[in-house]
Amino acid sequence: MTGSIVILLGAPGAGKGTQAKRLCDSTGLVHVSTGDLFRENQSKGTPLGLEAKGYMEKGQLVPDDLVLRMLFDRVSRPDTRRGYVLDGFPRTEPQAEALTKALEAQGAAKPMVVQLDLDDDLIVERAAGRLICAACGHIQHLKFSPPKRAGVCDVCGGELRQRKDDQPDVVRERLAVYHRQTAPLVAYYERQGVLERVDGSLEPDDVFAQLVELVRPSLVRGEN
């Protein structure tokens, strides 16, 4: 693992996936989403996917050992050599510690960490209306980025679906888990002096503009 590493932190529905995709399209970094990796494993019916399924459907975290194995396997592939954007990882202090140690062992630079700030009410609204393309993974929203044709992806014409864990009771559980287990990582990275924040409640273009302003200079200088 070398190159620039950007970590997007934020609650479920904060816009990590939306922004990570845009950032990767514009910088050439590779998008690594642990949630997407688990969903891919589930659709292929792998043992890892089956093991993760029960936790995800209840809105709970998948155990650290499974997450870490999958993550380090993914970021050791050659396509990540020039850097990657982590979306949905780390989510617990042991995960953050494991990543810090792995990066130190490789002599890699510290990651740049960006927290997407957002109120809980907006998070529930975003999750409730989210639509994901089953073919290309493009993310839309019933209210905030409505499809031109109902149920059809604007990008590739694939079928738009809702995620099982976007039902209101599961979203509430995911939020509670976030506040309990993941929110402390903001202080963890603040202590390391690598935390930046953006206002995640703005329009996607405005969130992206803030993000690029933070990340680009480090990429250009090759510091991260």
Residues classed as catalytic: 16, 91, 130, 163, 174
Is 10 one of the binding residues for ligand AP5 (CB under 6 A)? yes
The residue within the footprint of ligand AP5, chosen from 32, 89, 112, 115 (CB under 6 A), is 89
Minimum CB separation of residue 109 from ligand AP5 in Å reads 22
d(CA 156, CA 153): 6
Angle separating helix axes 34-44 and 47-58, nearest 10 degrees: 120
Greatest Cα pair distance, the chain, in angstroms, is 50
Q: How many residues of this chain bind ligand AP5 (CB under 6 A)?
A: 38
End-to-end CA distance of the chain: 12
Interacting residues of 6 by C-beta distance below 8 A, sequence separation 6+: 23, 29, 83, 84, 85, 86, 111, 112, 113, 114, 215, 224
Torsion of Cα atoms, 130 then 133 then 138 then 143, to 10°: -30
| 193-222 positions binding ligand AP5, by CB under 6 A | 202-204, 207
Asked, as a colleague might, if the bond just before 78 is cis with ω within 30 of 0, I would say no
Would you count residue 140 as binding ligand AP5 (CB under 6 A)? yes
Return the number of the residue (54 or 157) whose C-beta is nearest ligand AP5: 54
Q: Which does 61 bind (CB under 5 to 8 A by kind): ligand AP5, Mg ion, none?
A: ligand AP5
* 110 vs 142 by CB, closer to Mg ion: 142
Closer CB to ligand AP5, residue 127 or residue 219? Answer: 127
Which is nearer to ligand AP5, 15 or 83 (by Cβ)?
15
Cα–Cα distance for residue pair 185/173, rounded to 1 Å:
19
Buried b (16+ CB within 10 A) or exposed e, 19-42: bbbbbbeebebbbbbbbbbbbebb
Q: Does residue number 49 form part of the binding site for ligand AP5 (CB under 6 A)?
A: no
**By CB under 5 A, residue 137 contacts Mg ion:** no
Binding-site ranges for ligand AP5 (CB under 6 A): 10, 12-18, 33-35, 38, 55-56, 59-62, 67, 88-89, 91, 95, 126-127, 129-130, 139-141, 144-145, 165, 174, 202-204, 207
Binding site for Mg ion (CB under 5 A): 17
